């Protein structure tokens, strides 16, 4: 018995730059698994190595190929991806992140993929990103932006019509976060009465961990009563780690600042910490903010791009100007000193994210868009 057009499997190849444990990569895996469950025949290609998310994808019976390509200028990725697409043709190609978007659309056109959809995850205005995007925009059938601010920025960068960009926000796994057991302070390397600030994300220029460290240092000066109890934990790895560690040592903060690298129990840490800080210079729709809101953790973030769509200042968190370390320090100190206000903001933020950011809704929107194409 043949399947009806509404239920027959459609071949979908999803391409991403790498499969590390960043926010975009985790969202990519959730979308892939969700679409597989909705009847798509999904395969995944990583331009670089396989990465830790491969296990999660393969457990959902999704084939993963890693092309072992290098950085942005490694054009070998185009020919390796072309070979993969010839080996297993796709009806639709869905790509995430700039390198995968660029290499994917070229390889897709070379192999005759019927529809190419590119996921725009951040409002990256650097020329190294915007110029290639502008020159190859004609190869793309549809863009999917993670937030309205990202959609607006990308439309302006590439000079494309509004009807070519669809906004599909990320979701958050409320049930899994609810099930997470709060970490003990000993597991965090802290004392029971410490005030713990989390900074979660890649140690990169975009995420500006040095700004977070600078704001923490200023906070200790402005709120001396916190000096003996405040702790800052950087959860993540990246190219700025040596510089960040050097700056910690220069400021004499080695007893107050921890750099444990990536930890798989981030949700447990969020449920035990006192506040999350995100000092990013640009963003898409930060998963880490939604996860913190779902975990009941107050958030202080820079007022950039999608962060402004998740936080209403003084109601669901605190927004401060990008690069304004004094404003960030004051917001952090005020939250740590005022439990009642912080608790109210956390409850309001939790209600918002529970209502507006479910993974089931995100995957359904992708399914509807791809089937319409």
- For residues 313 and 268, state if they share a domain: yes
Residues, the chain, total?
A: 373
Q: Transcribe 281-350 into DSSP letters.
A: SS-SS-HHHHHHHHTT--EEEE--TTHHHH--BTTTBEEE-TT-HHHHHHHHHHHHH-HHHHHHHHHHHH
Of 5-19, 92-106, 252-266, which gets the smallest average pLDDT?
5-19
Of 57-61, 73-77, 341-345, which gets the smallest average pLDDT?
73-77
Mean pLDDT of 330-353: 95
Contacts of residue 113, Cβ cutoff 8 Å, sequence gap at least 6? 13, 85, 89, 90, 91, 92, 93
| Number of domains making up the chain | 2
Task: Say if CB 245 and CB 259 are below 8 A apart.
Answer: yes
- For residues 316 and 351, state if they share a domain: yes
Tell which residue, 296, 322, 300, has the closest CA to residue 311: 300
Q: Please state the pTM of the whole predicted model.
A: 0.84
Token representation of residue 28: 């990519």
What digits encode the pLDDT tens for the residues 107-163?
999 999 999 999 998 877 788 888 888 899 999 999 999 999 999 988 988 888 889
- For residues 226 and 282, state if they share a domain: yes
- For residues 346 and 215, state if they share a domain: yes
Q: For the domain that residue 290 is a member of, what is the CATH number?
A: 3.40.50.2000
Provide the residue range defining the domain that includes 341. Answer: 175-356
What digits encode the pLDDT tens for the residues 357-367?
999 999 999 99
**Backbone φ and ψ of 335, nearest 5°:** -65, -45
- For residues 19 and 135, state if they share a domain: yes
What's the pLDDT band for 9 if we cut at 50, 70, 90? Answer: low
- For residues 277 and 197, state if they share a domain: yes
2 domain residue, yes or no:
no
């Amino acid at each position: 018995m043949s399947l009806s057009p509404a239920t027959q499997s459609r071949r979908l190849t999803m391409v991403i730059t790498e499969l590390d444990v960043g926010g975009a990569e985790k969202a990519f895996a959730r979308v892939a698994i969700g679409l597989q469950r909705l009847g798509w025949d999904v395969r995944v290609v990583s331009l670089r190595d396989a990465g830790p998310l491969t296990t999660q994808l393969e457990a959902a019976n999704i084939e993963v190929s890693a092309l072992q390509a290098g950085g942005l200028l490694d054009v070998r990725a185009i020919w390796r991806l072309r070979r993969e697409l010839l080996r297993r043709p796709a009806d639709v190609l869905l790509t995430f992140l700039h390198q995968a978007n660029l290499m994917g659309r070229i390889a897709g056109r070379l192999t005759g993929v019927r529809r190419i959809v590119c996921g725009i995850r951040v409002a990256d205005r650097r020329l190294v990103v915007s110029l290639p995007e502008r020159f190859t925009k004609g190869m793309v059938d549809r863009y999917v932006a993670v937030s309205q601010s990202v959609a607006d920025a990308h439309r302006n960068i590439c000079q494309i019509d509004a009807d070519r960009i669809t906004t599909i926000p990320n979701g958050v796994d409320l049930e899994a976060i609810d099930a997470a057991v709060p970490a003990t302070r000993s597991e965090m390397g802290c004392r029971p009465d410490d005030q713990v600030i989390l900074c979660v994300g890649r140690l990169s220029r975009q995420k500006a961990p040095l700004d977070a460290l600078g704001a923490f240092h200023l906070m200790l000066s402005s709120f001396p009563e916190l000096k003996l109890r405040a702790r800052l934990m950087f959860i993540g790895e990246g190219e700025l780690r040596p510089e960040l560690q050097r700056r910690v040592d220069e400021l004499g903060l080695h007893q107050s600042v921890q750099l444990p690298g990536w930890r798989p129990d981030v949700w447990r840490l969020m449920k035990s910490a006192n506040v999350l800080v995100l000092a990013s210079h640009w963003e898409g729709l930060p998963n880490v903010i939604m996860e913190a809101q779902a975990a009941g953790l107050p958030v202080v973030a820079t007022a950039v791009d999608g962060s402004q769509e998740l936080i209403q200042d003084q109601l669901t968190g605190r927004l401060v100007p990008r690069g304004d370390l004094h404003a960030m320090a004051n917001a952090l100190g005020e939250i740590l000193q005022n439990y009642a206000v912080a608790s109210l903001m956390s409850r309001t933020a939790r209600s918002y994210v529970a209502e507006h950011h479910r993974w089931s809704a995100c995957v359904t929107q992708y399914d509807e868009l791809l089937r319409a194409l």
